Amino acid sequence: MNVYDSARIKEMMLTEDHQFVDKIEQADIYIVNTCSVRDKPRQRVINHIKHAKNINPRLKVIITGCVAQIEGDSLFSEGADFVIGPDWYKELPALANQTDKESLNRDHFLRTGFKVDNPEFLQANPLRTGVSAFIPIQKGCNNFCAYCVVPYGRGPERSRPVDEILKEISVYAEKGVKEIFLLGQNVNSYHYKEVTFYDLLGKIAALFGVERIRFTTSHPKDLSEQLISTMASTPKLMPWFHLPLQSGSNRILKLMHRNYNREHYLELVHELRRQIENISLTTDVIVGFPGESEEDFGETYSLVEQVGYDGMISFKFSVRQGTAAEKMENHLPEQIKKDRLVRLQTMFENQISTNLERFSGKICKVLVEGKSRRSRDEAKGRIPQNIFVNFKLNGDLVPSELVNQIVDVKILEVRTHTLYGQMM
């Protein structure tokens, strides 16, 4: 979401006749778009401000993103000149043109709070082209999972109007973008007037030029039977599903306020695999949530092992200010969290190569993204299951000639988290 916002902010500033410079010394304005999901977000932002102002004291520093929303006017005393939360980006170009002399009122430089009734979504600008386009379809989240700061930084859940989404995707499709990546904190609960998420997917799939549709993130409690059957019957919906688990223990899931249990999660996995051929499943896991016992951790470990994911993002629990988990008792020592994370990741690393072996010898459709990192004569791209593949080309072809094309690649080898193949 932040990558998308940064790109839109950049486009807006360029449209308003600002220019980008490579060095802080040459800049008049320095925008730091912040994320509060990472650890110690406030300190990271302060370090950015200090670093930039040390190099160029006349710089106007604008803090945007969730840290701006959560920390608010306290960032002024750290050197910020403007503090702009995620719902106020449309005002950025106009604000950036103003100086302290034009107003003595500090509130003038602060834009936080949420636009609940008329949320604004930044529009794509046709300047952007590429292999994939990221399209936000929602803002905010209503779930208040006990460990998560997102509802405080991004506000309540609001779904974007259908027409706006389709228009933005059409702009990209006209530019030749083949893959659409829908973004939201909980896309499964998208609801605009009578249009549900699976209705929206059907409308996007009907657009000319769109060839691959992906989305993230899903919440298991809102994953419906209709969504699974829509995926199964719509070839443009790629066979990849990111289904955050967070914990395999029902006791911990309850403490996390996740509103599903282990049994329901496994039923969803079963249904996804039953209806969607060779689907790839990926997940997020938190270990060491307050009060997690060795037995609770064992249930997470066994569930991850049982499902056999193709990708896992796993973290040790760490406190986010203002969340319910902050006030919980029984926070675990770092060493226990670290040890559990290492055990989980070691098992996953041993398992993933075996999981990916199912692609060996298969011919896969690959959307080419560019040259491979390892060899300039080889290309890279992703198969429908969202797994990276590096591959050898035919004859005299060079990777740049194939960018944004979908080609057939025979998978020859599995390499850690990626595949290796030969173009057919």
Least distance in Å: CB of 284 to ligand SF4? 8
φ, ψ of residue 260 to 5 degrees: the values are -150, 165
Give yes or no for residue 287 binding ligand SF4 (CB under 6 A): no
Task: Using the minimum distance from each CB to ligand SF4, give the nearer residue, 186 or 247.
Answer: 186
The total of other beta-carbon atoms located within 10 Å of residue 365's CB is: 14
Give yes or no for residue 85 binding ligand SF4 (CB under 6 A): no
Task: Using the minimum distance from each CB to ligand SF4, give the nearer residue, 67 or 366.
Answer: 67
Task: Using the minimum distance from each CB to ligand SF4, give the nearer residue, 141 or 227.
Answer: 141
Give yes or no for residue 148 binding ligand SF4 (CB under 6 A): yes
Which of 60, 178, 219, 380: binder of ligand SF4 (CB under 6 A)? 219
**Near ligand SF4 by CB under 6 A, which window of 71-79, 148-156, 305-313, 314-322?**
148-156
How far are the Cα atoms of 99, 123, 202, 268 from residue 108, in angstroms, in the given order? 11, 25, 44, 49
Least distance in Å: CB of 184 to ligand SF4? 9
Least distance in Å: CB of 330 to ligand SF4? 21
Least distance in Å: CB of 289 to ligand SF4? 12
For residues 122 to 141, the per-residue mask of contacts with ligand SF4, x marking binding by CB under 6 A and - elsewhere, is -------------------x
**Near ligand SF4 by CB under 6 A, which window of 54-62, 75-83, 145-153, 348-356?**
145-153
**305 CB-near residues (< 8 Å, 6+ apart):** 347, 351
Give yes or no for residue 69 binding ligand SF4 (CB under 6 A): no
Give yes or no for residue 186 binding ligand SF4 (CB under 6 A): yes
Which of 33, 34, 185, 372: binder of ligand SF4 (CB under 6 A)? 185
Give yes or no for residue 385 binding ligand SF4 (CB under 6 A): no
Which chain residues interact with ligand SF4 by CB under 6 A? Answer: 141, 143-145, 148, 150-151, 185-186, 219
